[in-house]
């Protein structure tokens, strides 16, 4: 009744208290009567049971039935949308003899026509994923030259092939004929990227060339900003920006409209090794992921609008490839050499937290390249152990946005092995 006194008793450490009160005896008696008697002067009945045991049991049964109904709905939802799991192993393994153990090369591309192009030493093969038919497109004569870069055009009608001896060719795959050769480089062409009718190539001669394949004189612009080999190139989905990575540990962001002036948008120097692995986020236009080589081992997420690193993950292994999941907010990294962990592994990371979802991989040597299927479900890893391994790690897509569920049957291991040639 005396709140000030009660507060003092609860909070004060003094053992003696003044027991005097400002409330007189008449006030206390009136308060007791109002709290203990009803309006007719009769004592209140406290804790009186009202209602029969029968009605009580009925209400309890109603609550139990409600709980059972909720549990049934939850169980039904779980059966319809089981949690998505990481596959235990590869879906398919293809033998890839003479696949070169070269970190800087990009020898694999999966076109919108569902055909995988892969260079094996001096030869280039086409593998049709629908009927598993294999066709040899070309073979380079002589022991000093071989394909070092393979990239399908966006419409999958043309295949661009860069070579060790600085050649750059365009092939019509349907007719298996060479369309034309593009000039301008004087060193190995290990990276190429398409942007509509523009083919961009990066070379060991430190230059980036934009080729307009419609023109007789295809050289649209030549940029020499990198201080070492250009080993990574990737155009954004909108085609307005280009990311280029170099062996001098630098990452450049270029605007398409200003490339002829050789003026870059950003020069990013956070990596400590070669920047080969590049991937633009499919659901955030200005976000780019980059991966560093052995001395770096970091995946960096960039805001290319501001030129700042918004996340950095130390994988402790050489990063040879990055692929975004188009169906779930995830990114997959392929790794090579390591002195600690993740060696020769594929690691799946949840975006934007970049927490590791899981890892997989049966390669006996480092992963050289990654690429994904046109439907965005399957990822192929090319390993220095001369195998191509297919992983159904990205799908299938789900109805709910941001949902990461898929059937547990997707993770079953297949031991089917076939020769690529």
What does the pLDDT look like over 307-346, one tens digit per residue? 999 999 999 999 999 999 999 999 999 999 997 889 999 9
CA 165-104-202 angle, to 5 degrees, is 60
pTM: 0.76
Share of the chain above pLDDT 70, in %: 79
- pLDDT, mean of residues 403-419: 36
Rounded Cα distance between 179 and 286, Å, is 35
Q: For the chain, what is the radius of gyration of the CA atoms?
A: 33
pLDDT of residue 6: 77
pLDDT of residue 416: 35
pLDDT of residue 420: 53
With a cut of 90, say whether residue 230 has pLDDT above it. Answer: yes
With a cut of 50, say whether residue 405 has pLDDT above it. Answer: no
Report in angstroms the alpha-carbon separations of 381 from 278, 318, 368.
15, 15, 7
Q: Which helix (H) or strand (E) holds 233?
A: strand 230-235
Beta-strand (E) ranges in 249-393? 251-255, 266-268, 275-280, 287-292, 298-303, 308-314, 319-325, 330-335, 346-350, 355-360, 367-372, 379-383, 387-391
The answer to whether residues 290 and 302 touch, using CB atoms and an 8 Å cutoff, is: yes
**Least confident piece of the model among 137-141, 191-195, 229-233, 392-396:** 392-396
CA dihedral 271, 273, 276, 281 (to 10 degrees): -20
- pLDDT, mean of residues 60-81: 57
pLDDT of residue 341: 86
With a cut of 60, say whether residue 53 has pLDDT above it. Answer: no
CA 371-372-374 angle, to 5 degrees, is 135
Q: So where are the chain's domains? A: 97-269
Mean confidence (pLDDT) of the chain: 86
With a cut of 70, say whether residue 90 has pLDDT above it. Answer: yes
CATH class for domain 97-269?
A: mainly beta
- pLDDT, mean of residues 196-218: 97
The answer to whether residues 319 and 335 touch, using CB atoms and an 8 Å cutoff, is: yes
């Amino acid at each position: 009744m005396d709140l000030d006194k009660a507060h003092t008793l609860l909070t004060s450490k003094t053992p003696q208290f003044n027991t005097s009160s400002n409330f007189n005896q008449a006030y206390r008696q009136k308060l007791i009567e109002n709290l203990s008697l009803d309006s007719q002067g009769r004592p209140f009945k406290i804790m009186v049971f009202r209602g029969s045991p029968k009605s009580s049991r009925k209400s309890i049964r109603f609550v139990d039935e409600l709980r059972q109904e909720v549990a049934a709905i939850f169980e039904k939802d779980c059966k319809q949308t089981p949690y998505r799991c990481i596959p235990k192993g590869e879906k398919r393994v293809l033998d890839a003899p003479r696949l070169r153990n070269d970190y800087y090369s990009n020898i694999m591309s999966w076109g919108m026509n569902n055909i995988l192009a892969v260079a094996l030493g001096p030869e280039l093969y086409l593998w049709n994923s629908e009927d598993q038919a294999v066709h040899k497109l070309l073979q380079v004569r002589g022991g000093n030259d071989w394909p070092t870069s393979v990239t399908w055009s966006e419409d999958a009608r043309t295949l661009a092939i860069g070579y060790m001896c600085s050649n750059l060719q365009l092939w019509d795959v349907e007719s298996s004929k060479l369309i034309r050769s593009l000039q301008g480089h004087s060193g190995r062409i290990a990276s190429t990227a398409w942007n509509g009718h523009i083919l961009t190539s990066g070379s060991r001669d430190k230059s980036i060339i934009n080729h307009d394949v419609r023109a007789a004189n295809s050289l649209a612009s030549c940029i020499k900003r990198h201080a070492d080999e250009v080993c990574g190139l990737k155009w954004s989905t909108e085609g307005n920006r280009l990311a280029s990575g170099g062996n001098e540990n630098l990452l450049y962001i270029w605007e398409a409209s200003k490339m002829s002036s050789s003026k870059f948008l950003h020069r990013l120097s956070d990596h400590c090794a070669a920047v080969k692995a590049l991937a633009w986020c499919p659901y955030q236009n200005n976000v780019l992921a980059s991966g560093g080589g052995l001395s770096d081992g970091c995946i960096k997420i960039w805001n290319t609008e501001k030129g700042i690193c918004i996340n950095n993950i130390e994988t402790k292994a050489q990063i040879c490839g990055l692929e975004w999941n188009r169906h779930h907010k995830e990114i997959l990294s392929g790794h090579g050499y390591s002195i600690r962990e993740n060696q020769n592994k594929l690691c799946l990371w949840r975006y934007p937290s970049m927490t590791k979802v899981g890892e997989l991989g049966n390669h006996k040597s480092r992963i050289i390249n990654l690429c994904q299927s046109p439907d965005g479900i399957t990822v192929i890893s090319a390993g220095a152990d001369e195998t191509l391994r297919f992983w159904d790690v990205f799908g299938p897509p789900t109805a709910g946005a941001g949902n990461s569920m898929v059937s547990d049957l997707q993770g079953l291991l297949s031991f089917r092995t076939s020769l690529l040639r």
